[in-house]
Each structure stands twice: as C-alpha cells, then as structure tokens.
Amino acid sequence: METTLKLAIQKSGRLSEGSLELIKKCGISYTQTLGKLKAEAHNFPMEFLFLRDDDIPKYVANGIADVGIVGENVLAEKNEPVEKVEALGFAKCRLSIAVPRDFVYNSLDDLNGLKIATSYPQILQNYLSENQVNAHIHVISGSVEIAPSIGLAKAICDIVSSGSTLISNGLKEVEVIFRSEAALIASPKLNEVQKEVLQQLLFRIRSVRKARENKYILMNVPNESVEKVIEILPGMKSPTVMPLTTEGWSSLHSVVKEDDFWKIIAQLQEAGAQGILVIPIEKMII
Ligand code: PRT
Ligand code: ZN
C-alpha cells in the first residue's frame, strides 16, 4: 500500500503503549522490527516513525513526519509550528510546582527570589510571568525531584501523575500549572491526500474512543416495568425492547456511558431488571 502519512510515535516510554494500542484498535496493522525506527502499515496508507517524544514536535514541524502523538506538555514546551488535532485521553498528568514538605507555603509570592529546577522552562516561565513571580529557573533534564535534597534548588516544577514520586522525595505539590494528556498533532503543510487520510484516521480514533466510553447493556425486565426502566436508562436513542419466550417478560437493550452505568445499576435492579449484562463495544459510529 502506498504510504501517504508518516506518523511519529514515542519509541519507548509512557506514551508508547497507549499510542500503539490506539493504532491497533483503529484496525491498522503493521510489523514492527525490533530496534527499527520505521514500520509500514499493511492496511492503511501510513508509515510509523519511532522517536523520542521531545523530538516529535520538531519532526512534525519540519516535515520528517506529517503527524505525531505527543504529550501536550511537550507540545507546549517546544512551541513548534504544528497543529493540535485532537486530545487523545491517555497519558494524563499535570505539571506542578512542589516544595520540601517543611516549607511553609501560602501563595505564589513565596516563590519570589527562589531557584526552581525544571525540565519545562518555557511553560514555567510563562506561568511565572503571568503571575508576576520573579524566580530563577534552573533547567535540568532528568531526576528533577532530587534537586532540593542535593541543594540545587529550593523548589521544583515537574510532571506529576499519582504524586508518589513527590512524596517519596519529601516534597509537596503546591501549584498545578498545566494539565496534559496525549494529543494528535499535524503539520500545517499537509497536502490534500494527506489531509484526507488524516480525516480517515481521526474518524477511526473517534469511533474507538466513543466505544471505549460506552457499554452495551442487556437485561430482562417484567413487561409492567419496561417503561420505568426506560426512564432510568440514559440511552443513546430509544432502547430496543424484545419479547422473551417467558410470558410477561421482555429483553431490553441499550447503550450507556460506563460512568452512568455505575450510577443507575441499583435503580435498574430496584425497578425489576434481572440478568443484567454489560458488554464492551468495539467501535461506535454515530
Ligand atoms: O525517552 P523519551 O524522551 O521518549 O521519554 P521521556 O522519558 O522523556 O518521557 P516519558 O516516557 O517518561 O513520558 C512521556 C510523556 O508521558 C510525558 O511527556 C507526559 O506527557 C506523559 N506522562 C504521564 C508522564 C507521566 N505521566 C509521569 N508520571 N511523564 C512523566 N512522568 C514521570 C514524572 O516525570 C515523574 O518522574 O513520573 C514521575 C511522577 O509520577 P508519579 O506517578 O509518581 O506522580
Ligand atoms: Zn523525552
């Protein structure tokens, strides 16, 4: 198949698994050879480039790749001329300022005059400037969390997910300055064919993500309770109701949001629903 769109994804790291899983769920298959930097899709006009995440915005900007999957934090930090096409909902994290546990912190003013270690000088500088804080940014490329304990800086600004890294380094989170998730980015210079392929990819991504948020639900309901159960179900459209061979009972099918499901389960049972099955949906096109 002729390649038209080159997609840059992280070679190995926190974005790799989510990126590859999404591609797979989109029905795009490829053979990855260990150690290789490139792979070609078998059934979609796409080629993959496996890169370090920090390089992805630059490569998309200069045309080595056409589209890419990267954290919004890296995208904001690198500030390359690329377009954010879609947030993808995985690799969620935040960029936060943290100080030693015994630091008496009341407000951003307490950071004035301090040295803050970070790998995100651009985002941090923008935030400090917006808030009229005068602090010194000390750029380090890794292990930012150890900076205060070795006397390199009084505070840090780093990626936080569960928060356990901060805690185990004797730090506390005091300000969230940026929220991030993986995003699909694209070069502004795509040709018409590439734009069309990107739209096809986006259509698949949205179908996969919609499906992931929703569940197919089936249950048996006594006929006299059908109306009541339908009222409880926040379904896509009106649910399907089919008679069961058992006299006086119906089978009811619908689609519910996973989050909603947990809220309504007790109400459904109370209304008389039995044999409730909740089934994952592969793709959802609406
Ligand atoms: O080698 P390469 O340069 O490609 O990878 P990398 O080491 O620079 O990045 P990687 O794989 O660590 O992260 C890639 C992207 O994943 C980041 O740019 C974020 O968008 C996103 N992400 C999501 C995270 C985290 N969660 C995360 N927890 N990136 C880093 N962390 C680190 C953080 O730096 C800190 O050391 O995890 C630690 C904090 O985690 P908690 O759970 O203890 O709070
Ligand atoms: Zn990186």
Mutate to test the pocket of ligand 1, among 161, 166, 171, 185 (most ligand atoms within 8 A of CB): 161
CB of 217 closer than 6 A to ligand 1? no
**Is the pLDDT at 5 greater than 80, yes or no?**
yes
For residue 16, the ligand 1 atom closest to its alpha carbon is 11
CATH for the 214-280 domain, from 2.40.30.10, 3.40.50.1820, 3.90.700.10, 3.30.70.120? 3.30.70.120
Q: What is the pLDDT of residue 236?
A: 60
Whole-number Å distance, alpha carbon 253 to ligand 2 midpoint, is: 46
Region 225-238: mean pLDDT is 84
Residue spans of the domains in the chain: they are 5-90+181-190, 93-179, 214-280
Region 235-243: mean pLDDT is 81
Q: What is the pLDDT of residue 227?
A: 92
**Is the pLDDT at 164 greater than 80, yes or no?**
yes
Q: What is the pLDDT of residue 286?
A: 77
Q: So what CATH class is 5-90+181-190?
A: alpha beta
* Listed residue (62, 57, 45, 49) closest to 16, CA to CA: 49
For ligand 1, atom 19: residue with the closest CA: 71
**pLDDT tens readout for residues 70-79:** 999 999 999 9
Which residues, other chains included, contact 231 with Cβ-Cβ below 8 Å and sequence gap of 6+? none
Region 121-147: mean pLDDT is 97
**Is the pLDDT at 237 greater than 80, yes or no?**
no
For residues 25 and 209, is the Cβ–Cβ distance under 8 A?
A: no
Supply the DSSP symbol for 41.
B
Q: What is the pLDDT of residue 254?
A: 93
**pLDDT tier, 234 (very low <50, low <70, confident <90, very high otherwise):** confident
CATH topology classification for 93-179: D-Maltodextrin-Binding Protein; domain 2 (3.40.190)
Q: What is the pLDDT of residue 33?
A: 75
Whole-number Å distance, alpha carbon 141 to ligand 1 midpoint, is: 12
* Ligand number nearest to the C-alpha of 71: 1
CB of 173 closer than 6 A to ligand 1? no
Q: What is the pLDDT of residue 235?
A: 62
